[in-house]
Amino acid sequence: MKLNAPKQVTWWIALILGALGLIASLVTVPVLSGLALWLLVIGWALLLVATVTKGL
């Protein structure tokens, strides 16, 4: 399996999703607190898929 570096836009989106998930899990944010775990999972999954998929 050949791994590729994700594009910068994909990396930033994953970083923002992960940061929002982390903040929402530590601080009570009305809209995001219930989704904190899912934001982290989606951010990590996006990075994994972008690493395996060329051009993402």
Helices (H), 3-35: 8-26
Q: Which long-range contacts (CB under 8 A, 24 or more apart) does 48-51 make?
A: 50/4, 50/6, 50/7, 50/10, 50/11, 50/14, 51/3, 51/4, 51/5, 51/6
Tens digit of each residue's pLDDT (9 = 90 or more) over 5-41: 999 999 999 999 999 999 999 999 888 888 999 999 9
Domain boundaries, the chain: 1-32+41-51
| Greatest extent of the chain over all pairs of C-alpha atoms, in Å | 41
- Provide the pLDDT for residue 56: 79
Residue 7, C-beta contacts closer than 8 angstroms, at least 6 positions apart: 50, 55, 56
Whether the pLDDT of residue 43 is over 90: the answer is yes
Note the pLDDT of residue 23: 92
Instruction: Please give the model's pTM, rounded to 2 decimal places.
Output: 0.84
